[in-house]
Chains A and B, each alone.
Chain A
Amino acid sequence: MNATLTVEGLKVAIGAANVLRGVSLEVQPGEVRGLVGESGAGKSMLGRAVLGLLPANATITSGQIAFEGRDLLAMTETERRGLLGRRIALIPQDPMTSLNPVKRIGAQIGNLLRHHLGLPKRAALTRAAELLTEVAIREPERVLALYPHEISGGMRQRVLIAMAFACDPALVIADEPTTALDVTVQRQVLQLVERLRLRHGSAILFVTHDLGVVAKICRSMSVLHAGRVLEEGETADVLVRPRHAYTRALLAATPRADRPADALRPVPPALIEQLWSEAHRLDRAGEARPA
């Protein structure tokens, strides 16, 4: 059976700067894979590459992205659009800006269902109400008639989660979906994502900088830095027996309930320095030996 998502040796450059330096990872059907890294590691860029949302000045210089064995990069625009939103979905980072401010919630969910599933208008609204119930929104009919500014941030994120799972996607890319939320809401959102994943049978690529989130819901994880995967494996293994120095440093920098706060150690600057110079050495090697 094909992996849901296969990324192989993906290199992405923005202008002369490399942002992904040969990333490989796999997401199996139904798997939740965490993609961890600090700001600028390229983790969001990877998600965007899969969704075809790279900024206009970014180019994929080499590598492959396959969805269920089909090459996403070689597909026609129309073929890819048929997959996006239906088989591959996104839970965006910022719920405040990710809904269209001038359209009612019902219209936004309804359009998606009509576009991909061909539901008639009435049926789409009924289904939209069911989806809102799934994400624990009370009085779904009332919420469907509201505009985004009339509901809270946590509620907007639920709406976006409902939209991501609306067409039973095989793969959901969750781009730091809890970062913009209150800590109290974060937990509920994580539980929600987990519940919907099980119900809809989706795999998730969970992009985050939060090792705590990864420990909670990801079965496997990849650690990204400077556009390279430094370490990957089962979450339990990686967190308990980290092999790479950077993973160990990240763990030491993560607050935990069973450790005093003054045990926290920032990632040593020397290590970061060393990783970047490695990355640049790779870049120079790549230039010297044209691909």
Chain B
Amino acid sequence: MRWGEIIKRLVLVPPTLFGVAVIVFVLLRVVPGDPIAMMIPPGASEADITRLRALYGLDQPILQQFATWLGQVASGDLGRSISVRQGVLDLLLARLPATIELALLATVIAVVLGVLVALAGILLRGRRAEWAVDGGVGALLAIPDFLWALILLLLFGVLIPWLPISGRVDPQIDIDLRSNFYLLESLLTGRFDTASALLHHMFLPALALALPFAALVARILKASLADAEDQDYAQIARARGYSRPAILLHEVFPNALIPTVALGGVQLTLLLGGTVLVERIFSYEGIGNMAIDAVINRDFPLIQGLVLTFAVLFIALNLAVDLVVALLDPRLRHG
């Protein structure tokens, strides 16, 4: 991908986000229920409600509200959460690292698992055991991440209590870290006991997110490997006396990686979306979990901030995928 292409994509980011902002803003206000209704005690007077609505600016026309909010966002202020009574940006910055770390760990697990299964599948190609691999992958794929979360929670949290099932880290542990990227920072600064405690907590939710994605990676990669192995250049490599494992690794794999990253990379957005329910199930303190609270409380500013954050993540992810694909495929690199 050339620089011009990248710049074109970056230029399109603000209009995309604007579109997202309009849709969310309008939807939230069309759907019945508002934050005031959620926060007033029973028996509050009509006058109190009107005062509260005025306090949060909800008495103004939607267009006016939108203009005010957009002005704030443009100057880097996402407003104040109504239910938590803190700045939305601060809340996001505190919680987002937890979700990013969880998604990263899930991706690592999924890629390792997916690649291993795909390689096993391709080595068994044409034998009866190939069906077992394909079937297993299909079963993994058929169960969604939140269901895996419940299954894993029952299996390894309740029936065989190996791992903690709640939170990001034990409350007793004193986290003395400068950033909110607990795992990355503790790994980089060599505090492995902290990292290990974090990983214990993250493993089950990450695995729940990873399993369907691993199945997806395995399926795409195996099909791509099979396709590439049938190409002339791979056949001719056999006529040059290379062994099949060598051909799969050196000739076929680099080619199969291209469609796998292109198709699988985009599906990472599904994994990010999956964090909402999975974080909730494991009471993991990320933005997904926060999103559910925000929706329950009709916390308009927080929901808007969260949706914008997810939109930025999705856009960044898609751009990153395209860049990596261009890096892997010389035919795209030179335009």
- B331, A101: Cβ atoms under 8 Å? yes
- B241, A81: Cβ atoms under 8 Å? yes
User: When chains A and B are docked, how far (Å) is the Cα of A52 from the Cα of B258?
Assistant: 29
Most buried by A among B241, B254, B255, B334: B241
User: When chains A and B are docked, how far (Å) is the Cα of A86 from the Cα of B240?
Assistant: 7
User: When chains A and B are docked, how far (Å) is the Cα of A256 from the Cα of B241?
Assistant: 40
Residue on B nearest A78 in the bound complex, by CB: B243
Decide if A102 is an interface residue (CB 8 Å cutoff): yes
User: When chains A and B are docked, how far (Å) is the Cα of A102 from the Cα of B255?
Assistant: 7
Chain B residue contacts of A163, Cβ below 8 A: 240
Chain B residue contacts of A81, Cβ below 8 A: 241-243
A77 to chain B, nearest CB (A): 8
User: When chains A and B are docked, how far (Å) is the Cα of A53 from the Cα of B239?
Assistant: 7
- A102, B240: Cβ atoms under 8 Å? no
Contact of B238 among A53, A83, A102 (CB under 8 A): A53
- A116, B241: Cβ atoms under 8 Å? yes
B230 to chain A, nearest CB (A): 10
Instruction: Tell me the count of chain B residues lying within 8 A, CB to CB, of chain A.
Output: 23
User: When chains A and B are docked, how far (Å) is the Cα of A22 from the Cα of B330?
Assistant: 46
Contact with B along A70-97 (1 / 0, CB 8 A): 0000000000111111100110101001
The residues in B between 132 and 173 inclusive whose CB is less than 8 angstroms from any CB of A are none
Given contacts A102-B254, A102-B328, A149-B331, contact A53 B241 (CB under 8 A): no
Chain A residue contacts of B236, Cβ below 8 A: 90, 92, 98
User: When chains A and B are docked, how far (Å) is the Cα of A81 from the Cα of B247?
Assistant: 12
Decide if A115 is an interface residue (CB 8 Å cutoff): yes
- A147, B241: Cβ atoms under 8 Å? no
Contact with A along B216-248 (1 / 0, CB 8 A): 000000000000000111011111111100000
- A147, B242: Cβ atoms under 8 Å? no
A264 to chain B, nearest CB (A): 33
Decide if B32 is an interface residue (CB 8 Å cutoff): no
Decide if B250 is an interface residue (CB 8 Å cutoff): yes
Contact of B233 among A51, A84, A86, A101 (CB under 8 A): A101
The residues in B between 246 and 273 inclusive whose CB is less than 8 angstroms from any CB of A are 250-251, 254-255, 258
- B255, A101: Cβ atoms under 8 Å? yes
Residue on A nearest B250 in the bound complex, by CB: A111
Chain B residue contacts of A56, Cβ below 8 A: 126
B325 to chain A, nearest CB (A): 12
Decide if A121 is an interface residue (CB 8 Å cutoff): no
A69 to chain B, nearest CB (A): 20
Chain B residue contacts of A188, Cβ below 8 A: none
A163 to chain B, nearest CB (A): 8
- A147, B330: Cβ atoms under 8 Å? yes
- B232, A94: Cβ atoms under 8 Å? yes
Decide if A150 is an interface residue (CB 8 Å cutoff): yes
Residue on A nearest B235 in the bound complex, by CB: A53
User: When chains A and B are docked, how far (Å) is the Cα of A100 from the Cα of B126?
Assistant: 24
Instruction: Tell me the count of chain A residues lying within 8 A, CB to CB, of chain B.
Output: 30
Decide if B293 is an interface residue (CB 8 Å cutoff): no
Most buried by B among A86, A90, A94: A90
Residue on B nearest A103 in the bound complex, by CB: B254
Decide if A99 is an interface residue (CB 8 Å cutoff): yes
Chain A residue contacts of B237, Cβ below 8 A: 100
Chain B residue contacts of A53, Cβ below 8 A: 235, 238-239
B297 to chain A, nearest CB (A): 51
A145 to chain B, nearest CB (A): 11
Decide if A203 is an interface residue (CB 8 Å cutoff): no
Chain B residue contacts of A84, Cβ below 8 A: 238-241
User: When chains A and B are docked, how far (Å) is the Cα of A262 from the Cα of B233?
Assistant: 41
B104 to chain A, nearest CB (A): 27
Decide if A162 is an interface residue (CB 8 Å cutoff): no
User: When chains A and B are docked, how far (Å) is the Cα of A99 from the Cα of B238?
Assistant: 13
Chain A residue contacts of B331, Cβ below 8 A: 101, 147, 149
Decide if B185 is an interface residue (CB 8 Å cutoff): no
Chain B residue contacts of A102, Cβ below 8 A: 254-255, 258, 328-330
Given contacts A56-B126, A112-B240, contact A98 B232 (CB under 8 A): yes
- A100, B239: Cβ atoms under 8 Å? no
Chain A residue contacts of B254, Cβ below 8 A: 100, 102-103
Chain B residue contacts of A112, Cβ below 8 A: 240
- B330, A149: Cβ atoms under 8 Å? yes
Chain A residue contacts of B231, Cβ below 8 A: 97
Given contacts A98-B233, A99-B233, contact A85 B330 (CB under 8 A): no
User: When chains A and B are docked, how far (Å) is the Cα of A42 from the Cα of B269?
Assistant: 51
Residue on B nearest A51 in the bound complex, by CB: B239
User: When chains A and B are docked, how far (Å) is the Cα of A53 from the Cα of B236?
Assistant: 8
Interface residues of A (CB under 8 A from B): 51-53, 56, 80-86, 89-90, 92, 94, 97-103, 111-112, 115-116, 147, 149-150, 163
Minimum-distance CB pairs A-B, first 8: A85-B240, A84-B241, A85-B241, A97-B232, A81-B241, A147-B330, A51-B239, A90-B239
Listed by A's residue number, 16 A-B pairs whose Cβ atoms lie within 8 Å are A51-B239, A53-B238, A83-B241, A84-B238, A84-B241, A90-B236, A90-B239, A92-B232, A94-B232, A97-B233, A98-B236, A100-B237, A103-B251, A115-B240, A115-B241, A147-B330
Q: A85-B239, A85-B240, A102-B258 are in contact. List 18 more A-B contacts (CB 8 A).
A: A51-B239, A53-B235, A81-B241, A81-B242, A84-B238, A85-B241, A85-B242, A90-B236, A92-B236, A97-B231, A98-B232, A99-B233, A100-B251, A100-B255, A102-B254, A116-B241, A149-B330, A163-B240
